[in-house]
Structure 1
């Protein structure tokens, strides 16, 4: 009975505060776990409603919930949103004056504040720890928890100190949340926070509503303008590697009739904040940004994400593309790729320690494999995060829409597995390729691998061919990564069975990005308008939403999100009761 009452209370609060009748995915079980006072580790992709998992328990539990968050923009965005929902949420960071901090602390101690967002740097200050020791803390949530792991794509040293700091607040439940964690990163986070016993809730990494595409970096500005014309008036983010490129692309877009604004750390803080607000409030359609933008920016109706330059890691790419389609509607993810970008990124790492350089190199190598591989992009991404995708054709990426020619490759797969077996499962891809091709470098000599039966067995094919074979052998799960030793490959049970009883395996050659290929108009994706709602009414509702948002000084998505407007434009509610039945009202 108590469980049923708790369930009713949780759902009632969901409707009362957020306007939703139902939870999505793992949200409900995660929230119940937090309410029971258990340590909780949540791995949930962007757009799956991760923030709600700590926001709702904070409303139900007595006391103040602390949310540790890495970015000031993220804090402001979430605090504004919670305040719009009628919840007293605040943030504590370096942007506040002394007077504001004094008032904030008083409000927290007297119990007026339910949610407090804190930067890890602020938590590191002794006076803030002393202040929080006087507060009735309900639990501590660590958002973007992958920042803890030095194996992750966004390691932040101050995150490694979090466990020591929160231990000073007493024995409080800890909730760690991330949208991107490979098995290796997950293990590292749990060890660092000393929460190996935590209940782990992992949602599928599959963003079914996203279309993934990689194009060669050739006549890129022309390609970009053509792409944006197909998505005119839609909201989007374009990521660039340098601040200079961010400014240049924003200028290019404005000259070509698009409403765009730049966003990077070098801008005056007021200008940067204005550009971010203009994007959220639909005054501009497109933000051109360095990677720092968008980490946690909650704009649900981003319809496309473009990587003008190659990202530093597959985790980063997944998180950045995850900004698209957070409302569940279609999002397009386009990356322009070239080896030159990889070389630039390698140079950025030259001043790092040997270990950091090696970690960065392996992350870049994964990025290279992803871009050049002919395998379904969705299958590759999910495999990287330790999730199996059984379909060979997702129907929603360039590799599946325009498949490469395939060939029977069981003999090549056998050689790849044998190379791992005969080198005692202790080496990574580059060494295995050298052994297979019969390249006698220092490593091959020092380990006497020239004496192995597999040595030189594949000398008729080039290194790129064998990299592609080993990569596909890994994706098809005949090989697996060693979680403890980064970069090292091992044979899976499936691989051992294959060696005993080989069977046909279809492979395909990688994309060749080293040669210039003329753009083929026919290979461009055709956007089909298959809208089931009244498009004219939808546009009228969007205009009305924007007007109401301006009057209330709120981002439009806080009034209603696009899926709610689509439902209205489908069901045509004519009274308050019918309108109240629309999801999100």
Structure 2
């Protein structure tokens, strides 16, 4: 796909596609109905942005995320692509500018929130715009029982039929059930070209830890990563505010974010996170969906997420630039009780509640895993993998023990007390703690009283937590969280099956050292200077810093130290438009002197083979300006003409003569020599 590769380099500044992208781009550009499941950070947006530049007409992108749409539009415009968005966050001037671009036929990508599909005038607007492709981001939002359901996504299938154009749907979090629902609702059950591009994010380090003074654990984790951008997810609004205050008191740049804040306050946090280096946002899940910031270095969960899909999506906001990133998820019995009760008390039908319990079980299985976490996570999504070697369990394999007898004692204590009590009371019975509550109920006379003195209180709490994590027991919301036994536990109780447990990891859950520095000590000062230049340019343009260049691009500049525009053009992420806008400014930072800029026509060829051809053609032209004997009439070609020759590579003198700016006299003077240069290339 010569055209696609040229656009990839010239517009987006990449030398090659990421794994899986090229086949998806080819299918979408060819007008095939497409469903692509790609990992967060795997380059989904490129798979509809690039085809939009190949195809005729406008590509309408339906996304539920205003912040993401605005970020992508700003990024596309910086790359020289005509893009606009129609969202509730638009100013009147922004909306009118989009309408004007549509009427002028200049727009290539139009971003739109799904709620706009409910407006009667939307279909006419899209027809007027000449829409040739519908791209659906976060396609899992069409799933009515999914964790991000958006009712207006159900209108997209009808829009596809009405406009009679191909549709490309993208998501990172669709299990088999959700994929079937996407096909049914967006493609009328007609199977699209489907690409399942793997869920592995090998640059992300996975880690879980049982809660033990969770505030202290989060503060320690953040302290080891001081100065790096991160997100801390919390289960309640109040906790976001208290934890953000604790981080700020500890010297971090941190702020809270949740759905109860005023819109202006939320926007201010979003703006800070986009533009400020090293900011920590402590948030509910109201924050983050659609965060396009590529250099988030870590994500921590102060509370257990709702499901394994939610967990995967939330940790996927780290390390989108491909550089190392880290995660830490804290969990405890209270988290499990809360998540179980949320499912049991929901209005969903019984079969959906059963499926939600299964999803939570998968996350708890990941939390209580005995072997490689990455293997466990990928297995849930139907993938096999070798042990990764760099999750917390691969780095420090947990101590295990035969927990069969301990689990049987715990189950016996539950049954002998009528399954009417929670963990605290059961631990008192097992450890022989004669509390008033134990004596009043006569539980100090039970055969199980004091039979579990081999563990202390924390040890038994870990046993019960793992039993809940394995879904052997569940808290019953109708009996104030009293534990009840599940069918899967009966074979263990009867001695028909055994079970292996982990020694509790609380003592071992120390803060892992932060990932290595992104650059060497030698390159660190230059990287800081490049970031300062980026920040100044971003503030002047009022755009997020990463819209100028990502951290990964600046790191490559610091390590390779380009000295010319050609060398700068070969840096990943530096496309033609950004080279023209920012190349000289960053070269000056690197070299310490004002950049010696070539002619604009030559700059358009920077980093390409055509650039070297241009230079050789210019040299030949200088030598023959007055003919082979140096006495002829002076003739020369403009830089624009040399660019046309270098790009089009004519194969004969007659073809050369027809190019703009040539003509018979110049073709006769330079033709043979120019063709020799082109032939040698």
Which residue number corresponds to residue 178 of structure 2? Answer: 185
The match for 1:480 is none
How many residue pairs get aligned? The number is 499
SS of the residue aligned with 1:323? coil
Q: Report what 1:372 is aligned to.
A: 368
Q: Is the 8 A contact 1:90 1:116 kept in 2?
A: yes
CA-CA distance at 1:34 after TM superposition: 0.8
Q: Is the 8 A contact 1:405 1:508 kept in 2?
A: no
1:27-426 pair list within 5 angstroms:
27-96=21-90, 101=95, 104-169=98-163, 171-193=164-186, 194=188, 196-282=190-276, 285-349=279-343, 350-355=345-350, 356-389=352-385, 391=386, 393-405=387-399
- Aligned residue for 1:570? 559
How far does residue 284 in structure 1 lie from its aligned partner after superposition? 5.6
2:9 to 15, 21, 33: 15
Q: 527-536 or 143-152: which moved more?
A: 527-536
2:309 match: secondary structure: helix
Q: Distance in 2 between matches of 1:575 and 1:103?
A: 37
Paired with 2:67 and 2:503, the residues of 1 have a C-alpha distance of: 38
Cα deviation for residue 520 of structure 1 reads 4.1
Q: 1:466 to 1:240 in 2, by over 3 A?
A: closer
Contact 1:261–1:284 (CA under 8 A) maintained in structure 2: no
Match of residue 447 from structure 1: none
2:539 alignment counterpart: 550
Contact 2:230 2:278 in 1 (8 A): no
Q: Deviations over 1:120-146 (max 9, x none)?
A: 111122221232233311100110011
Instruction: Report the TM-score, using the length of structure 2 for normalisation.
Output: 0.67
In the TM superposition, what whole-angstrom CA distance separates every residue of 1:229-249 from its partner, at most 9, and x where no partner exists?
110100111111222222222
Query: Contact 1:468–1:510 at 8 Å: present in 2 too?
Result: no
Question: 2: CA distance between counterparts of 1:37 and 1:149?
Answer: 25
Preserved contact between residue 373 and residue 511 of structure 1 (Cα < 8 Å): no
Distance in 1, Cα, partners of 2:503 & 2:126: 55
Question: Match of 1:126, SS?
Answer: coil
Let me know the Cα RMSD of the aligned residues. 3.3
Does residue 25 (structure 1) correspond to residue 14 (structure 2)? The answer is no
Q: Deviation digits for residues 367-413 of structure 1, max 9, x if unmatched?
A: 22211121211011111111111x1x31221111111246899xx9x
**C-alpha displacement of 1:525:** 2.1
Partner secondary structure for residue 509 of structure 1:
strand
Q: Deviations over 1:86-126 (max 9, x none)?
A: 22222223334677656634532442221111111111222
Determine helix, strand or coil for the equivalent of 2:287.
Answer: coil
Query: Once the two structures are superposed, what CA deviation does each residue of 1:177-234 show, in whole Å capped at 9, x if it has no partner?
Result: 0011112221221122225431111112111111111111111111111111110100
CA distance in 2, matches of 1:125, 1:308: 40
Q: Is the Cα contact below 8 Å between 1:69 and 1:119 reproduced in 2? A: yes
DSSP-derived class of the 1:262 partner? strand
Q: 1: CA distance between counterparts of 2:532 and 2:126?
A: 44
Query: Equivalents in 1 of 2:265, 2:464: separation in Å?
Result: 49
Q: Are residues 91 and 404 of structure 1, via their aligned partners in 2, closer, same or farther at CA, if it must alter by over 3 Å?
A: same
- What corresponds to 1:525 in structure 2? 512
Counterpart-to-counterpart distance in 2, 1:525 and 1:262? 24
Distance (Å, rounded) in 1 between the aligned partners of 2:106 and 2:544? 25
In 1, Cα distance between equivalents of 2:93 and 2:465: 61
Cα distance change of structure 1 residues 531 and 49 upon mapping to structure 2, 3 Å threshold:
closer
Residues 97, 567 of structure 1: CA spacing in aligned structure 2 closer, same or farther, 3 A cutoff? closer
Name the CA shift for 1:125/1:227 in 2 (closer, same or farther; >3 Å): same
The 3-state SS of whatever aligns with 2:133 is: strand
Inter-CA distance 109–346: structure 2 relative to 1 (3 Å threshold): farther
Contact persistence 1:308–1:336 (CA under 8 A):
yes
Conserved? CA contact 1:564–1:583, under 8 Å:
yes
- In 2, distance between residues paired with 1:100 and 1:572? 39
Q: What residue in structure 1 maps to residue 501 of structure 2?
A: 509
The gaps in structure 2 that reach 5 residues or longer are: 405-410, 419-462, 473-486, 489-497, 575-681
Is the 1:238–1:289 contact (alpha carbons within 8 Å) kept by the matching residues of 2?
yes
- Look up the match of 1:541: 530
Distance 2:88 2:540 in 1: 30
Partner SS state of residue 144, structure 2: coil
CA distance in 2, matches of 1:302, 1:328: 10
Query: Are the structure 2 counterparts of residues 559 and 275 from structure 1 closer, same or farther at C-alpha, using a change threshold of 3 Å?
Result: same
Q: CA deviation at 1:158?
A: 2.5
Q: Is the 8 A contact 1:532 1:570 kept in 2?
A: yes
1:538 and 1:235 map into 2 onto residues whose CA distance is: 16
Contact 1:124 1:165 in 2 (8 A): no
Partner of 1:417: none
* Residue 46 (structure 1) shift: 0.9
Q: CA deviation at 1:151?
A: 4.7
TM-score (norm 1): 0.78
d(CA) in 1 for partners of 2:94 and 2:42?
A: 34
Q: Larger C-alpha radius of gyration, 1 or 2?
A: 2
Q: Report if the CA contact (8 A) 1:406-1:507 is conserved.
A: no
Q: Name 2:637's counterpart in structure 1.
A: none
